[in-house]
A and B are shown apart, each in its own frame.
Chain A
Amino acid sequence: MDAFRQAMHLLFTLDPELLQILGVTMRMSFFSTTISCLIGLPLGTLLGTHSFRGKAFLKKLLHTLMGLPPVVAGLLVYALFTHYGPFGSLHLLFTVRVMVIAQCLLITPVVTGLCASYMEQSAAGILETARGMGLPSGRVLLLCLTESRTSLLSVVLSAFGRSIAEVGAVSIVGGNIQWKTRVMTTAILLETNKGNFSFALALGCILLLIAFVVNVAASWIVKEARYD
């Protein structure tokens, strides 16, 4: 209860550092989710609605990547962007941008895989209609996506959920730098390491609250769009 009270206190006193951390968290999660979905949804739809040689293998690969441990993704991105790494000259290590890159590596396979499974089960009807209308393949893809938007929302929200809750990759490539790359999860980990367990729990409450608000907002938007 103490943790909850502390969480409310932090929120309502508009603690400047908390607001800054929330800002970084939202910026990171927004971009990771958006980019992953821009790549993963079309890719998943293609995979779910087409059959070709090697598809079974590709899906196995995808499902493996869906389970990629965040620390491994973090290490890979770290190795790429470290000072002497292939992209070291870009000086992106310990920035929010590289955190987004690491998260996209994690989340894109999840979006692609979930979207492909959904399309496999439900796109048959849409495909038939599209073929009957003689639509070009680009339009078919678009139709599949727009017709399934309510269901794909849960895919997008899982992507967002994975992004906002992830700590392994972002702490490695972001470095948990105060006023710069610290996000909610790395802040929680830091407070835990400091021994401030109840404060850490308070931050956890706030993180859950945000996730809840985002979920409610997203379903509301999709519902509105359906009535248009």
Chain B
Amino acid sequence: MKKLLAILLAALLVLSLAACGGNTEPDPSAAPSQSDAASEVTNPTIRLSTTTSVNDSGLLPYLLPVFESETGYKVEVQSAGTGAAIQKAIDGNADLILVHAKASEEEFINGGYGVERLPFMYNFFVIVGPKDDPAGIADCEDAAAAFAKIRESESKFISRGDESGTHKAELKIWGEAAPDAANDSWYISAGQGMGACLTMASEQQAYCLTDKATFLSMEKDLDLGLLLEKGDDMMNTYSLIAVNPEKIDGLNVEGAKALIDWMLSDEASEMIAKYGQEQYGVSLFYLLEK
């Protein structure tokens, strides 16, 4: 009970520090306690800040128990949109991040917060929408062409609108011609997670850009069809970045390194490549050439 209270207090302290703006020095008590674990690792707790798509698709719950049983580490996964996932690391609340927004990742590294960007796996964004496809996007070459047709026909489109990796990818596809939710009534900026947006798209019979894994996991409850995949502009790359111990103190540096090494190992690669085949008949993530 006392321990729980201490953790809560520490969390509160860090949050209020973060709220006071730009504070990068975390309270030392917020770092994971050097607990009395019997395992040989000195600090068994690794804090991984990641995006919802990797966690909600079931990939991490599938991989991490293997890593944990092999090494004795315990991984605490915090999942949020890419924006929040990165901010948590900047605030000193994570040892490493696993995200999918190249521009934000580079900003993170240029700010000195990250050690090195390690892109290691990818998949494709897909465009889903009403099964009768009123805008006729199914034959399009890539996402940009599909978006142009959606804009032309003013078909309803649900945007994440939450600065997540998926939202940033969507904005990149719109390019200069990004619709304005204030004036374009067909463009709906939902400000919610992927699952909530897909449900909304199904209700309103709207188009939506999504990661394939989340869509497949929800498909049976949605009245939506998978209309376009594998355009050149729809690739979605995931990277691992260890937080820089020179910038942020109280990090579990060995733990972060151990997890990264394991994620890049042949064993994990094999597991990642197989993930999804049993349940959906297709792989949900592909490995980048090393």
Check if A and B associate.
yes
Q: Taking beta carbons and an 8 Å cutoff, which residues of A are in contact with B? A: 1-3, 82-83, 93-94, 171, 175-180, 182, 186-187, 190, 192-198, 201
Q: Taking beta carbons and an 8 Å cutoff, which residues of B are in contact with A? A: 15, 18-22, 80-81, 83-88, 91, 161-164, 181-182, 188-193, 196, 200, 202-204, 223
Nearest CB on A from B156, distance (A): 11
User: B190 and A175: CB pair below 8 A?
Assistant: yes
User: A175 and B200: CB pair below 8 A?
Assistant: yes
29 A-B pairs whose Cβ atoms sit less than 8 Å apart in the complex: A1-B20, A1-B21, A2-B19, A2-B21, A3-B20, A3-B21, A94-B203, A171-B192, A175-B190, A175-B200, A176-B190, A176-B191, A176-B192, A177-B189, A178-B161, A178-B188, A180-B188, A182-B191, A193-B80, A193-B83, A193-B193, A195-B83, A195-B85, A195-B87, A197-B15, A197-B87, A197-B91, A198-B18, A198-B19
CA distance A2 to B22 in the complex (A): 9
User: B88 and A178: CB pair below 8 A?
Assistant: no
Closest to B202 in A: A83
Residues on the A chain within 8 Å of B18, using CB: 197-198
Nearest CB on A from B97, distance (A): 11
User: A178 and B192: CB pair below 8 A?
Assistant: no
Residues on the A chain within 8 Å of B87, using CB: 194-197
CA distance A201 to B20 in the complex (A): 10
Closest to A83 in B: B203
Closest to B181 in A: A178
User: A194 and B81: CB pair below 8 A?
Assistant: yes
Q: Which 3 A-B pairs have the closest CB atoms?
A: A195-B87, A2-B21, A178-B189
Closest to B192 in A: A176
CA distance A178 to B164 in the complex (A): 16
CA distance A1 to B280 in the complex (A): 50
User: B80 and A177: CB pair below 8 A?
Assistant: no
Residues on the B chain within 8 Å of A2, using CB: 19-22
User: B162 and A193: CB pair below 8 A?
Assistant: yes
Nearest CB on B from A62, distance (A): 32
User: B84 and A193: CB pair below 8 A?
Assistant: yes
Nearest CB on B from A91, distance (A): 9
Residues on the A chain within 8 Å of B191, using CB: 176-178, 182, 186-187, 190
Residues on the B chain within 8 Å of A197, using CB: 15, 18-19, 87, 91
Inter-chain pairs besides A3-B19, A94-B203, A186-B191, 6 sampled, C-beta below 8 Å:
A175-B200, A178-B181, A193-B80, A193-B162, A195-B85, A198-B20
Residues on the B chain within 8 Å of A82, using CB: 203
CA distance A93 to B202 in the complex (A): 12
Nearest CB on B from A33, distance (A): 25
CA distance A38 to B222 in the complex (A): 38
Residues on the A chain within 8 Å of B189, using CB: 177-179
CA distance A196 to B189 in the complex (A): 18
> Given A82-B203, A195-B84, are A175 and B161 also a contact pair (CB < 8 Å)?
no
Residues on the A chain within 8 Å of B192, using CB: 171, 175-176, 190
User: B182 and A179: CB pair below 8 A?
Assistant: yes
User: B83 and A177: CB pair below 8 A?
Assistant: no
User: A94 and B21: CB pair below 8 A?
Assistant: no
Residues on the A chain within 8 Å of B81, using CB: 193-195
User: B83 and A190: CB pair below 8 A?
Assistant: no
Nearest CB on A from B285, distance (A): 23
Residues on the B chain within 8 Å of A193, using CB: 80-81, 83-84, 162, 164, 193
Closest to A3 in B: B19
Residues on the A chain within 8 Å of B200, using CB: 94, 175
CA distance A1 to B188 in the complex (A): 34
Residues on the B chain within 8 Å of A178, using CB: 161, 181, 188-191
CA distance A94 to B189 in the complex (A): 12
User: B84 and A94: CB pair below 8 A?
Assistant: no
User: B190 and A195: CB pair below 8 A?
Assistant: no
Closest to A176 in B: B191
Residues on the B chain within 8 Å of A179, using CB: 181-182, 189
Residues on the B chain within 8 Å of A171, using CB: 192, 196
Nearest CB on A from B187, distance (A): 9
CA distance A1 to B223 in the complex (A): 47
Chain B CB within 10 Å, residue with most, of A1, A186, A190, A192: A190
Nearest CB on A from B243, distance (A): 15
CA distance A178 to B91 in the complex (A): 28
